[in-house]
């Protein structure tokens, strides 16, 4: 039985078709799997491996390099509190302590109801807006303890509508019009050098 739903399997095959080498589709397929299930399961890795023509170990080895991919269950809302230098100086660690107390879990833990998973992260690239955090990778900036409490209350009460389910990076899926496709050609079958390579060669000859 396929891990992917029928609709997502069609999307997965379309993604693979964009690349001359199927394994190049690995990262987009991991995102698709996590969007569907919330985290990347063993079944997902096996199916992605089949689609890419690689082994499940290669899927896990590549995916585990990236913090955004989760290989175990997480809550419906993944909260990442930044504790890097800017956030640390402006209360990030205190905010993390407060979050642990409010949610009743330590960093890396998930609440008993499965709603929230709490993590501390090194940087979310919003240093001018410290202290900050992300919920399902959507930013919350200059967050106070009271802001955090209100956010949790609003999420539990269903008053927040800008947070997709965990794993959803974009609400609009990319579609490449047929007339805009560059074409899929395996490197070994290419008859002409890439445009950028020819340009670089021309520039090198001028310099020489």
Alpha-carbon gap, residue 145 to 148, rounded angstroms: 5
Q: What is the pLDDT of residue 68?
A: 87
Mean pLDDT in runs of 10 for the chain (208 residues)?
Answer: 91 91 94 92 96 96 92 93 94 96 95 95 91 92 96 93 74 55 59 62 62
Alpha-carbon gap, residue 28 to 66, rounded angstroms: 13
Q: What is the pLDDT of residue 18?
A: 87
Residue 57 DSSP label: H
Mapped onto helix, strand or coil, the DSSP state of residue 75 is coil
Q: What is the pLDDT of residue 112?
A: 95
Q: Which residues in the chain are classed under CATH 3.40.30.10? A: 77-156
Q: Specify whether domain 77-156 bears CATH 3.40.30.10.
A: yes
Degrees (nearest 5) of the Cα angle 124, 142, 113? 75
Q: What is the pLDDT of residue 55?
A: 97
Tokens 């794993």, located at residue: 167
Residues 6+ apart with CB under 8 A from 108: 117, 118, 119
Assigned CATH for 6-71:
1.10.10.1590
Q: Which residues in the chain are classed under CATH 1.10.10.1590? A: 6-71
pTM, two decimals, is: 0.74
Residue 165 DSSP label: P
């Amino acid at each position: 039985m396929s891990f992917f739903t029928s609709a997502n399997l069609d999307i997965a095959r379309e993604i693979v078709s964009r690349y001359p080498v199927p394994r190049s589709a690995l990262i987009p397929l991991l995102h698709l799997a996590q969007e569907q299930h919330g985290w990347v399961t063993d079944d997902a890795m096996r199916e992605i491996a089949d689609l890419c023509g690689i082994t499940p170990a290669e899927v896990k080895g590549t995916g585990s390099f990236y913090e955004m991919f989760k290989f175990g269950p997480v809550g419906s809302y993944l909260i990442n509190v930044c504790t890097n230098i800017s956030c640390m100086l402006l209360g990030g660690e205190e905010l993390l302590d407060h979050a642990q107390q409010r949610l009743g879990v330590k960093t890396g833990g998930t609440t008993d109801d499965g709603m929230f998973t709490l993590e501390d992260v090194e940087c979310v690239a919003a240093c001018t807006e410290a202290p900050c955090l992300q919920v399902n990778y959507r930013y919350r900036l200059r967050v106070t303890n009271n802001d955090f409490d209100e956010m949790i209350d609003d999420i539990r009460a269903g008053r927040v509508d800008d947070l997709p389910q965990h794993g959803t990076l974009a609400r609009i899926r990319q579609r490449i019009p047929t007339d805009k496709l560059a074409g899929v050609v395996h490197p070994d079958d290419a008859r002409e050098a890439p445009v950028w390579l020819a340009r670089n060669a021309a520039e090198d000859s001028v310099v020489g």
